[in-house]
Amino acid sequence: MPQQSDTSPLSTLRPGESATIESLGGDLGLMRRLKALGLGRGQRIHLLRRAWMAGPLHVRVGMTELMLRRVDAIHIRITPRAA
Amino acid sequence: MTMALVGMPNSGKSTFFNGLTGSHSPIGNWPGLTVELHQGSVQLEGRSVQLIDLPGIYDLHGLSEDEAIVRRFLETTPVDLLVLIINASQIDRQLRLALQVQQLGLPALLLLNMGDEAERFGVRINTEALSQRLCMPVLLISAKYSACFKTVELALAAALAKAGPPRRVEGLEERLGAGEAALEGRLAELLNQCVQLPERLRDQLTRRLDRLLLHPLLGLPLFFLAMFLMFQAIYALGVPLQQLLGQLLNGFGTAVLTPLLASAPAFVRGLLLEGLYQGIGTVAAFLPVIFLFFLAMAVVEDSGYLSRAAFLMDALMERLGLDGRSFVLSLMGFGCNVPAILGTRVMRSKGLRILTMLVIPFSLCSARLNVFLFMTAALFAPRQGAAVLFSLYLISFLAAILTALIFKGQFPSREPLLLELPPYRFPTIKQMLVRSWTEVRHFWFWSRKFIIFGVVAVWLLNNLPWGVAPASDQSLSGLLGSALQPLLQPIGINPKLTVALVFGFIAKEIVLGGLAVIYNQADMGQLGHALARDISWTQAYSFMLFTLLYTPCLSTVAVIRSESKRWGVTLLSVFWSLLLAWLVAFCFFQGSRLMGWA
């Protein structure tokens, strides 16, 4: 298990930065959907932009770009530097 | 023989389905499933084979409604072949679904769609190696272009010949569960062996467009500008078409039907011509606008802009229990509520869809605008008129927000909002036409009976008992108008206006016609004077408030019923809008009396 202190939620990533997905949380439905969209453990994730007024995040994983809300993004933990 | 089509959202599944089967796919109800599935037939080596279009899913093992439906279908319905379609340019994650399908143990065929895009982005796939490792035929295609369908048909026929008797999936849960742990590892291995992904994403066009269209400051103004232009285009084309169609139907009525029914008793003639035939006309008049609306919708959705709009508006809409797509549809409702409600099909979460359906009817549509333009011209000075119109638009927005806030607890959306932002692409003309045509047919099929019934019922109300002047005080609707006075007098609506509201329940397009009958003034200018003599401006504004907020038209009710599949939701929409209309009109009318305005 990675140390909790090394990881931070996806929502802390700044636009233009990349990170590696360390773990997925939240309920089973969310976890399965995230995996199906390519957000699996060990994948590189790139934050393209954030919407105004605490709106959704625009991210890229592999060949897929998607938006996700911050409430869902807090369940994704990342390590900022590539492993 | 039966084949089932499985695929992810955004993989071009419907395009493939429509292309292979033609757009004449009937909708079937399936035993044990609460949804309608499209079904079409394909001719394979002289044999007719059924293809069933299952809802788009991300994960065979997922927990969404659609994912459960697909599992239930596979467990209960024997099929000869599973046809799986995935987006080749996103093979790095979508191949996961192929591995899950492989675990089901049914004969399957894998289609890698959007081959053109994959090539453009630098994704190389060794289909032969993939086919060997997955133990199923693999084809790289671009369903957008019809040239690929010959090869697809040959491959399907060959796969069916080898398939054996139709089977359902036994022990589906266990099969999926058993493979779950090894799935990610197998996916990585398979990608490593058969797929070459580009080092950097080559889609600079999308990158550049997003920088502009999702710009923190420019994004929203550009979005509103795009919506405004779309609107203008739809109505610049749609309204003349609507009028032309109306004239043609009218002409046919006077030239052919009237002489034909000349010998029939007056009552029968009235019922058939003014009731039934006009009812059909009312439905038909919507068709051109619906067609154009879906043409525009196809561009907005298939180009990838719809999910960008959702991104821009989501911060606001999330607080109302809706999402950005609800906003786009509500905006479209300002043209016509009916196609906007049909358009909610892009949302897969039921709660979200129903909430959006409850909100859309408060969008001030073009038919209501017509009534308001007439009444403001008749009762207000031009300067005041503009302010009156503006206030009605404002109230329309407020009513929608209020409705969302009140009902968001009742219709929560349980699915997380994870929307793909696909690369920008332009749909082919054929794709757009097929889509629009399918929607028009769908509307005609579901709404006509309901609307015609309503139109005939209102005609009877206005013309019974025998021999009364239509819509007069002695007719059933006139009596209804008087009977409703205790309820409607406090909001300033007299019996005559009540009858107009009864007309308005069918469609706001016929409110002015109704008023003309009631005031016995065929000329619109004269009607305006008659109205101004009969009612005060506060009564007129109260009437407009009520008209704005109560049930927009029977067609809207009909599509809410057919899309939600629930009478409860339909009745809720009707009663809530009546209640809100009454309350708002009451507050205004009584308030204005207290202020001494009237």
Residue that is written with structure tokens 């809720």 in the block: B572
The number of domains in chain B is 3
Between strands A44-50 and A57-61, the pairing is antiparallel
Q: Residues B291, B343: one domain?
A: yes
Contacts of A61 in chain B (CB under 8 A): 93
B258 and B290 housed in the same domain: yes
CB spacing of A67 vs B416 below 8 angstroms: no
Domain membership of residue B319 as a residue range:
218-364+408-413+430-445
Query: Do residues B248 and B174 both lie within one domain?
Result: no
**Overall number of domains in chain A:** 1
> Is A16 within 8 Å of A81 (Cβ atoms)?
no
Residue A2 reports pLDDT greater than 50: no
Give the residue carrying structure tokens 């319905």: B77
Given a cut of 50, whether residue A83 has pLDDT beyond it is no
Tens digit of each residue's pLDDT (9 = 90 or more) over A18-59: 999 999 988 888 888 898 899 988 899 999 999 988 899 999
DSSP string for B151-192:
HHHHHHHHHHHHH-S-BPPSSHHHHHHHHHTTHHHHHHHHHH
Shared-domain flag, residues B478 and B552: yes
- Pick from B124, B134, B65: nearest CA to B97: B134
The pLDDT assigned to B107 comes to 95
B385-397 b/e with 16+ CB inside 10 Å = b? beebbeebeebbe
**Chain A residues near residue B206 by CB distance under 8 angstroms:** 65
Please work out, in degrees rounded to the nearest 5, the angle formed at the alpha carbon of residue B352 by the alpha carbons of B347 and B358.
Answer: 110
Give the three-state DSSP class for B32.
coil
Compute the 3-state secondary structure of chain A and give helix, strand, coil in percent, each to the nearest 5: 25, 35, 40
- Which DSSP symbol is given to B468? P
* B93 closest CB neighbour out of A32, A37, A52: A37
State the virtual CA torsion across B136, B142, B145, B151 in degrees, nearest 10.
Answer: -30
Contacts A–B by Cβ distance under 8 A:
114
Domain holding B150: CATH number? 3.40.50.300
Cα(B279)–Cα(B282) distance, integer angstroms: 5
A51/B58 touch (CB, cutoff 8 Å), yes or no: no
Q: What are phi and psi of B260, to 5 degrees?
A: -65, -35
Instruction: Check residue B225 and report its DSSP letter.
Output: H
Percent of chain A surpassing pLDDT 90: 48
Is B392 within the bounds of a domain?
no
Q: Is the pLDDT of residue A82 over 50?
A: no
CB-based burial, B3-16: b 16+ in 10 Å, e otherwise:
bbbbbbbbbbbbbb
User: Which residue among B63, B90, B210 sits closest to A28, beta carbon to beta carbon?
Assistant: B63
Domain identity same for B171 and B303: no
Rounded distance between C-alpha atoms, residue B132 and residue B128, angstroms: 6
In B, which residues are within 8 Å of A63 by CB distance? 89-93, 121, 123, 197, 201
By residue count, chain B amounts to: 598
B224 plus B150 within the same structural domain: no
Among candidate residues B160, B175, B202, the one where a domain is terminated: B202
Query: How far A3 CA sits from the closest chain B CA (Å)?
Result: 23
Containing structural domain, residue A64 = 4-79
The answer to whether the CB of B492 falls within 8 A of the CB of B589 is yes
Q: B421–A66: do the CB atoms touch at under 8 Å?
A: yes
Q: Is residue B372 part of a domain?
A: no
Average pLDDT per 10 consecutive residues for chain B, totaling 598 residues:
91 87 60 68 90 91 86 94 95 94 94 93 94 95 90 95 90 88 91 89 85 92 86 79 83 87 83 77 74 82 86 90 86 83 82 94 87 86 84 93 93 81 86 81 72 77 81 84 92 90 84 78 80 93 96 90 92 96 96 86
Interface contact B64-A33, CB threshold 8 A: yes
Pair B159, B102 in one domain: yes
Domain-embedded: residue B397: no
- Tell me how close the Cα of A7 comes to any Cα of chain B, in angstroms: 22
Question: B247 and B157, same structural domain?
Answer: no
Residues of B with CB below 8 A from A48's CB?
210
Q: Are residues B438 and B461 in the same domain?
A: no
B241 plus B134 within the same structural domain:
no
> In this predicted structure, what is the pLDDT of residue B598?
63
Query: Which of B458, B454, B468 shows the shortest CA–CA distance to B267?
Result: B468
Domain boundary (B176, B202, B228) is at B202
B435 and B524 assigned to the same domain: no
Predicted pLDDT at B446: 65
> Which of the listed residues B202, B227, B253 is the one where a domain comes to its end?
B202
- Those residues whose C-beta lies under 8 Å from the C-beta of residue B50, and which sit 6 or more positions away, are B1, B2, B3, B39, B40, B41, B42
Domain-embedded: residue B422 = no
Containing H/E element for B140? strand B138-140
Same domain membership, residue B436 and residue B299: yes
Read off the CATH number of the domain in which A52 is found: 2.30.30.90
Q: Does A55 touch chain B (CB under 8 A)?
A: yes
Nearest 5°: phi and psi at B262? -60, -35
CA distance B432 to B445: 20
